[in-house]
Chain A
Amino acid sequence: MEFNLQIKNQAGLHARPAAMFAQKASSFKSNILIFKDGKNGNAKSIISIMGLGVKKGDTLLVKIDGPDAAEAGAALKKLVDDKFGEE
C-alpha cells in the first residue's frame, strides 16, 4: 500500500519523533519505505529518517509491503495525526 502523510508536529521528524516513528515501524514485519523530495529511506531506521530532514508541513510518501501492511499503515498514520504526543 501507498499513502501520503503530512507531518504536523512542531519538531518535524527530529529526535524523539524520529525515534518514535522508527520504533513503531520496527514493530511490524512489513517493509516500510518513506520518500521525500526524491530521497528515500527505511522507516525502521532512525538514521535514515533523520537523514531525510523532514520538517513540519512536509509531506512524505509511505510505501508498505508485507503481511501486516494495513496495520502498520494505520499505526503510523495515527502517530503522525496525534503529533507524536507533542503539545
Chain B
Amino acid sequence: MGKSDTMWKIKGIAASAGIAIGTIVHMQEAVHDFCRLVDASQAPAEKERFYTAQQAAEKELEILQERTAINMGEQQAEVFAAHKLMVTDPSFVEVVLNHIDNHQASAEAAVEDAANEIAAMFAGLDSEYMQERAADIKDIGKRLVRILQGGTAEVNYTGVLAAQDLLPSDTAALDLNYVSGFITALGGKTSHSSILARAAGIPAVVGVGSALEKLNNGDNVIVDGHVGEVLVNPEEDILNDYRLRIKKEQERAALLASVGHLPSETLDGHHIELACNIGTPGDMEKVIAAGAEGVGLFRTEFLFLDKTSVPTEEEQVESYKAVLAAMPDKKIVIRTLDAGGDKQLPFIGGLPEANPALGLRAIRLCMVYQDVFKTQLRALLRASVAGNLHIMFPMIATVDELLSAKALLNEAAKELTQEGIPYKSDVAVGIMVEVPAAAAIADILAEEVDFFSIGTNDLVQYTMAADRMNEHVAYLSDYFQPPVVRLIGNVAKAAQKAGKWVGMCGEMAGDPLATPLLVGLGLTELSMNGRAVPVVKHRIRQLDIKQTQKWADDILSLRTASDIKKRLEEIALQFEI
C-alpha cells in the first residue's frame, strides 16, 4: 500500500472521457531473457524458428483483427491489418535474416534488433504519424520475441491498468470487460492506446510520466478521463461524489442514446431543424448517424485548398452531388468558396495582406476571380438535381455584393439552359451573416434572400474587434457578449418580418447552454458538430416556445456577458440534461 492514506493527485492528459473507480494493477512487462549469440552453424535452424514464429504471429494478428473489428469497429482493426503486412514485409525480413546470417544472432535477437533499427528510422522522420509507426514495428518485434519464447497472447487484468505504454497488441489482447480504466506514463491524445480506449469507452489518462512508478498494485484510484486526472487513495466523501457522477453519466448516456431519431420539437410542437456542419462528402455518414436532419453548412474549401490548380467543374459536381444524394430529401446548405485571408489559394497567389481577416477573402475574392466563382456556381446548379440544394454566400456586407453574386448565379444558370444541361430553377439562395454590417441591414438583405445563417465565430470577431486567436483579448471573444446577442436578435427579427428562415452555423449553435436563447430569439435551424446533436435535441424537446421568448427578451436587457451566462446557467438547471 501507499506511504500514507492521504489522497494525492496525478495530472496527465485526458485521453478518453469518463470516470473509473478501481484498484491499480500494473501491467507485467514480459521480461525476455534470451540468448543473443548462437553458433554460426545454427543459422539455418534460427531462420526456421523465425519463419515459424512469423506464421504464428500472422495467425494471431488475423484473430486480433477479426475480434477488434467486431468489438470496436473496422477502423480500429486496421492497425492489425497493417501489422500483418509488416510481419511479412520483405525489408523487415531481410534485416532479420541478415542479422542471423552475419552477426550470429539468435532469432530473438535478430527480430529485436531489426525492429529497433526500423523503428529508429521511422522515429527519425519527423511526423507524429511516423512516430506511431515506430511504435508499431516495436510492437511486432515484441510479439515475435514472445512467440519465439513460447508465450501466449492472452492476459487478463482486473481493475485500473497502469502501464508504461499500451501497445495495440496489449490493448487488443486484453479482456476489456475487466479493465475499468487506463493510466499510462507515455502517449498522447492520438496514440494508439488513446484511440482504442475511446473506441472501447474506457476512461484513460495518459502521459503521466514518472508518477506512474509511485502507484502501487492495490492502490485505490479514481481515473477522471474528462480532465486527465488520477486521484490516489481518495477520501470517502470524494469517492461518493464520483460514484454519483458515474451514475449520472450512465443515465445521461442512456437518455441521449434514446433521443436518437426522435423529432427535434419543442413541448408545444415547434420544429427546430438540427443540421450538421461538414467539410467533405465523407462526413455524411456521421451526419446521418448523429440523427441530424440535413447539412447547415458544407464548407467547400477542401476542394480548393492545397490544390495547385482550380478544381474542374466535373470534379466539383461530383462532390456536391455526393453530399446531396446522401440525404436527397433534406436541406443541404452549401457555402461557396470562403478562401483568402488565412486560407490562401496556391493557384491564385495574391499579395500578403496587413489585415487578412479584413482583406480580400470569401465573396470579395470570388468577385475578383469570377471565372473560378462561376465554375463553382455552375457546378452547384448542375448538382442541384440530386437533392435539396441551398446555396449560401459567405462574408456578405452590402446589398451590392449580394446582388452581384446573384447576378453571376443567374448568368451561370443561363449558360446551362443554353447548353441544355439540367438544373433546378428554384434553388434557395441565402447568405451567411458574419459581418456586423450585414446584421445592421438584415431587413434590407432579407428582401433579397431565401434564408440567413448566422456564423458566430466571425460575427464575434468582427463585432468585438477581437482576433479569436489572440489570447490577450480572449475575454472579448465570447458569443454571450451582449452586442453579439443583440445582433443575432436583430437578424432573427428582420428575417421573421420578411418571412424568411434564419439559422446558425457557428460554434454557438452546438452549445446547449445557448439553445433556449437561440430558440427564443426566433432561430429555426441550428447547425453543429455531429456530437452536439443529441444534447441540443434533448434540450429542445424540453422547451416551450412562449417561455423561451420571455427568457430571450429578458436576456436582451442584460448588461454583461457574465450576466447572460449566469442567467442561462440558471435556466439550464431546470433541464434534465
Contacts and interface: CB of A to CB of B under 8 A. Distances in A.
Contacts of A48: 89-91
A47 B82 CA distance: 10
A5 interface: no
A87 B281 contact: yes
B157 interface: no
A45 B91 contact: yes
A45 B129 contact: no
B280 A47 contact: no
Pick the most buried of A15, A46, A53, A57: most chain B CB atoms within 10 A of its CB. A46
B91 A42 contact: yes
Nearest to A50: B133
Contact of B82 (A10, A15, A41, A87): A15
Interface stretch (B46-54, B118-126, B568-576): B118-126
Interface of B is mostly: helix
14 contacts: A14-B129, A15-B82, A15-B129, A22-B85, A45-B89, A45-B91, A46-B86, A47-B118, A50-B130, A51-B118, A51-B121, A87-B280, A87-B281, A87-B282
B251 to A, nearest CB: 39
B80 to A, nearest CB: 12
Given A14-B129, A48-B90, A50-B130, 17 more contacts: A15-B82, A19-B81, A23-B85, A42-B90, A44-B90, A45-B89, A45-B92, A46-B85, A46-B89, A47-B92, A47-B137, A48-B91, A50-B122, A51-B122, A56-B306, A87-B280, A87-B282
Interface in B75-124: 81-82, 85-86, 89-92, 118, 121-122
A51 B92 contact: no
Contacts of B81: 19
Contact of A19 (B82, B91, B308): B82
Interface of B: 81-82, 85-86, 89-92, 118, 121-122, 125, 127, 129-130, 133, 137, 280-282, 306, 308, 319
Contacts of A23: 85
A81 B320 CA distance: 22
A44 to B, nearest CB: 5
Contacts of B125: 51, 53
Nearest to B118: A47
B129 A41 contact: no
B305 to A, nearest CB: 11
Nearest to A43: B90
Contacts of B86: 46-47
A51 B123 CA distance: 10
A44 B109 CA distance: 25
Given A15-B129, A50-B122, A51-B125, A41 B91 contact: yes
Nearest to B302: A87
A56 B305 CA distance: 13
Contacts of B281: 87
Contacts of B129: 14-15
Contacts of B127: 53
A47 B281 CA distance: 31
B88 to A, nearest CB: 9
Contacts of A15: 82, 129
Contacts of B90: 42, 44-45, 48
Interface in A16-36: 19, 22-23
Nearest to A22: B85
A47 B91 CA distance: 7
Contacts of B91: 41-42, 45, 47-48, 51
Nearest to B318: A87
A25 to B, nearest CB: 10
Nearest to A19: B85
Contacts of A19: 81-82, 85
B334 to A, nearest CB: 16
A14 B131 CA distance: 12
Contacts of B282: 87
A35 to B, nearest CB: 15
A45 B87 CA distance: 11
